[in-house]
A and B are shown apart, each in its own frame.
Chain A
Amino acid sequence: QSALAQPASVSGSRGQSITISCTGTSSDVGDYNSVSWYQLRPGTVPKLIIYDVTQRPSGVSDRFSGSKSGNMASLTISGLQAEDEADYYCSSYTANRGVFGTGTRLTVL
């Protein structure tokens, strides 16, 4: 299964909003509502921030939101804060096999 396509990097100023795209195919993102997003800060384990396309786990800020249209999923972070600076990965499934995105490094200016 090929990795889902994400921009290598995005940046935004504190307080602004950014959106990270995750592009797949009709066999993965387009076929499953199990799109998830993970936040990776240096030295920490991956943290689930969005699951089932739009759902936030308990304890995750409502500044994080997810959506999907066709074969593309998106993660939006509003009101950027310094602590949001991290790597972000989307994930989905294809034929019940998991697939991650290529990862996006978010820089908060």
Chain B
Amino acid sequence: QVKLVESGGGVVQPGRSLRLSCAASGFSFSSFGMHWVRQTPDKGLEWVAIISYDGRNIYYGNSMKGRFTISRDNSKNTLFLQMHGLRAEDRAVYYCAKSIHPFSGPSGMDVWGQGTTVTVS
């Protein structure tokens, strides 16, 4: 069964850091690009970042650049999102999601985790 499980969310003070993790199982993790997406009641879905299957290509949403770092450990089937300088507007449910096509560039996201909530207060 293809599964993604996020962890690491919580309540953090403005300006502090937080590291999210996403444990993958049931598929060849090292073959697929991975995304972080966040959801808020006000803005809906907002794309955060993408990392290619091999970790060599990384892109960020404009409001995250310089503060967030996406990374992956293919030996442990785990995706990470390191967040620094957190702001009130970063409060959201953060999802990790799997690209639908292996070894490819931008594509749709066919598997999503259950999400982890980040509150900045």
Contacts and interface: CB of A to CB of B under 8 A. Distances in A.
Interface of A: 1, 32, 34, 36, 38, 40, 45-48, 50-52, 57, 87, 89, 91, 93, 95-100, 102-103
B100 interface: yes
A38 B47 CA distance: 13
Is chain B's binding surface mostly helix, strand, loop or mixed?
strand
* A interface majority secondary structure: strand
17 contacts: A1-B62, A32-B106, A36-B107, A40-B45, A45-B114, A46-B95, A51-B107, A52-B107, A93-B106, A96-B50, A96-B57, A97-B59, A97-B60, A98-B50, A98-B59, A100-B47, A103-B44
- Is the interface on chain B under 10, 10 to 19, 20 to 34, or 35 or more residues? 20 to 34
Interface of B: 35, 37, 39, 44-47, 50, 57, 59-62, 95, 97, 100, 105-110, 112-115
